[in-house]
Structure 1
Amino acid sequence: MNIFLQFYKSLFSPKDIALFRHQGIGKTILYVFFLTLLSALPTVFYSGSAIINGLNAIDETIDSNLPDFEIAEGQLHTEEEVPVTLNKNNFTIIIDSTGAVDPSVLSESGNTIALLKNEVYILAEGQEQTYPYTLLTSGTLTKNDLSDFLASAESLMPIIIPLIAIVIYIFAAGIRFIEISLLALAGLFIKKALAKKLEYRHLWRMSAYSITLPAIFFTIMTALQTAVQNGAIINWFVSLIILLLSIKEVPSHSSK
């Protein structure tokens, strides 16, 4: 059975998921990378859009509208005693060296770029990104330096965006493998309660396919920019239910 048919079957068939315990670990790992690729696509797209739109918005306002500032030793310094807020191209740009602006409040706003006291915050198309200044520079960065940097960064976008996509993908894959491993551990208790002769390696393979339905659901929600309340709980609950149903499909006398 090819990987695409496995993906289709994993969306609704615990019986097929139970059968996948027989396959080699290499094919299961390949499936996890495939599922991770699908689920990471919306995040990659919106993150790339956020960075490009954010650079464009700042570049158009930095010379004429932004107050003079300096980033030194990981902190933003300006002569402004209150936060400065500007609106440009459907983006809200905030300069705040006072520490008065709370990033958690910004998550409820529209497209936003905020140079805060210790970090830069970007919210675009529902995707949040936060970068401490220490990650961006180890020295001093002024308004003019930022203008020059943006000019260079815009020309490097065809390189930067793929690199960001790779980082997001690797991080997402790591989270998937941890999730599957924990789910398989829970499966040990389930198989014991159901008196099924399964080993951890079998449960790991089954867990890799059991997460398909919730993974695709949350991928669609991310693509639609729709927040899901208690998403982590729903994700684990659905995955456990599918794993439970899959374990029940395994004959009690068989471990292979």
Structure 2
Amino acid sequence: MNIFKQFMKSIYSPKDIALFRLQGIGKTIMYVFLLTLISIIPSIIYFSSAFTTGLEMTKTYMNKTPDFSISNGELTADTKVPVIIKENSLTFILDPTGAISDADIANEGDAIGLLKNEFVISAGGQTKTSSYSMMPGLELSKDEVNNLITNIISLKNIIIPLTGAIMYLMAIVSMFIEITIVALIGLALANILGRKLSYSHLWRMATYSETLPTLFFTIMAALKTTVPNGFIINWIVVLIVLLLAINEIPKQNQSN
């Protein structure tokens, strides 16, 4: 059975998930990479779109902000209050006062912030923060920031794929950790149900048990819909699917 048929079967068939325990570990690892790729597609798409739009709109916003400069790791500007400009679905914030944090930027959804001590961009559910102090000797004026943005826009075809690759690698690591933990819990479930299964069998089954919740949360992400208590729901669904798969293994076939 090819990997895409396995994907379809894993959505609804605990019996097939139980059978997948007998396949090679290499194919299962390939499935982890496929499942992870599917799960981050919405995030990458939204990040790419928001990143490009954000930079272009930031250039426009620069014309609406007071003069400012970044020196000695700190932003100063000709304003005593934060400047917040909202246009369409993007928010631009210039805050030399320290009143606004990176968490506040994240709560704005798609937003760009020049804060007192750091630059923050929030897009596609991802927030990236860069401290000015991490760039020794950084001296920037408003005009120089405009030129910098122009240069970044010219490099977007490099920045976006690189960021997507980093997001993918981080998601893979997270998926492997989750599968490992689920498989360990599966050992206890197998003992309770009287099924003699090795950890390697349960690791394979745990991998395919991730399919249904991963697909669900990917669809929700594509729809930009937040699922309350999503972390808990994910774990509950994975463990229920794994439990059903373990239960599909007859006790008399323990030796297999």
Q: TM-score, normalised by structure 2?
A: 0.91
Q: How does 1:219-238 map to 2 (within 5 A)?
A: 219-238=218-237
Task: Provide closer, same or farther for how the CA distance between residues 136 and 145 of structure 1 changes in structure 2, counting only shifts above 3 A.
Answer: farther
Aligned to 2:180: 181
* Residue pair 2:117, 2:133 contacting (<8 A) in 1 also: no
Q: How does 1:43-82 map to 2 (within 5 A)?
A: 43-62=43-62, 64-82=63-81
Q: Distance in 1 between matches of 2:30 and 2:92?
A: 42
Aligned to 2:131: 133
Task: Provide closer, same or farther for how the CA distance between residues 84 and 205 of structure 1 changes in structure 2, counting only shifts above 3 A.
Answer: same
Task: Provide closer, same or farther for how the CA distance between residues 251 and 135 of structure 1 changes in structure 2, counting only shifts above 3 A.
Answer: farther
Aligned to 1:24: 24
How many residues are aligned here?
Answer: 254
Give the partner amino acid of 1:133: S
* Residue pair 2:189, 2:243 contacting (<8 A) in 1 also: yes
Q: Distance in 2 between matches of 1:2 and 1:218?
A: 24
Q: Is 2:118 the partner of 1:119?
A: yes
**CA apart distance, 1:144:** 2.6
Q: Which runs of 4+ in 1 moved over 6 A?
A: none
* Residue pair 1:187, 1:203 contacting (<8 A) in 2 also: yes
Task: Provide closer, same or farther for how the CA distance between residues 184 and 223 of structure 1 changes in structure 2, counting only shifts above 3 A.
Answer: same
Q: Distance in 1 between matches of 2:95 and 2:209?
A: 46
Q: Distance in 1 between matches of 2:156 and 2:184?
A: 42
**CA apart distance, 1:156:** 1.2
Aligned to 1:85: 84
Q: Distance in 1 between matches of 2:113 and 2:149?
A: 16
**CA apart distance, 1:75:** 3.5
**CA apart distance, 1:83:** 0.4
Q: Distance in 1 between matches of 2:14 and 2:87?
A: 51
Q: Is 2:8 the partner of 1:8?
A: yes
Give the partner amino acid of 1:190: L
Q: Is 2:145 the partner of 1:146?
A: yes
Q: Distance in 2 between matches of 1:105 and 1:244?
A: 41
* Residue pair 1:61, 1:88 contacting (<8 A) in 2 also: no
Unaligned runs of 5+ in 1: none
Unaligned runs of 5+ in 2: none
Task: Provide closer, same or farther for how the CA distance between residues 196 and 151 of structure 1 changes in structure 2, counting only shifts above 3 A.
Answer: same
Q: Distance in 2 between matches of 1:73 and 1:248?
A: 63
Q: TM-score, normalised by structure 1?
A: 0.91
Aligned to 2:248: 249
- C-alpha distance after superposition, 1:173-217 (max 9, x if no partner): 111101100100111110111111101111100000001000010
Q: Distance in 2 between matches of 1:230 and 1:72?
A: 42
- C-alpha distance after superposition, 1:7-43 (max 9, x if no partner): 0000000000000000111000000000111111000
Aligned to 1:95: 94
- SS of 2:86's equivalent in the other structure is strand
Task: Provide closer, same or farther for how the CA distance between residues 195 and 220 of structure 1 changes in structure 2, counting only shifts above 3 A.
Answer: same
Q: Please give the root-mean-square deviation of Cα atoms over the aligned residues, in Å.
A: 2.0
Aligned to 2:40: 40
Q: Distance in 1 between matches of 2:133 and 2:245?
A: 45
* Residue pair 1:71, 1:133 contacting (<8 A) in 2 also: no
* Residue pair 1:121, 1:128 contacting (<8 A) in 2 also: no
Give the partner amino acid of 1:32: V
